[in-house]
Structure 1
């Protein structure tokens, strides 16, 4: 799909569809950032969601929450 994505042209339903798919597959966020940039991803998916996806990817997509390993 070589068609450019224009965020302003998306309907509310299309935005919700993008967000739903991204919630199930974080690679969609990474692909969007690679093609359109982080600012565009933050506008489409929300800044908070993009930050969470990036944080989780730094953990290898494994989020066990806070575990105080090594602390007695």
Structure 2
């Protein structure tokens, strides 16, 4: 696949891979901080619009059930 027809998601992954090769200790630091805070961008990127809708629905229903008790 040529770089001009590269999707934004593939471009992000390619750039992330290049950064990991250049700076492996920074990757270890990022992994420690990601475990503490989570990474919403990766979650949203992997789910798609249907998955995000289901996730939001589950959160709203959970909030309603929790407020009843």
Fold similarity call, TM over 0.5: no
Rg larger in 1 or in 2?
A: 2
TM-score w.r.t. length of structure 1: 0.29
TM-score w.r.t. length of structure 2: 0.29
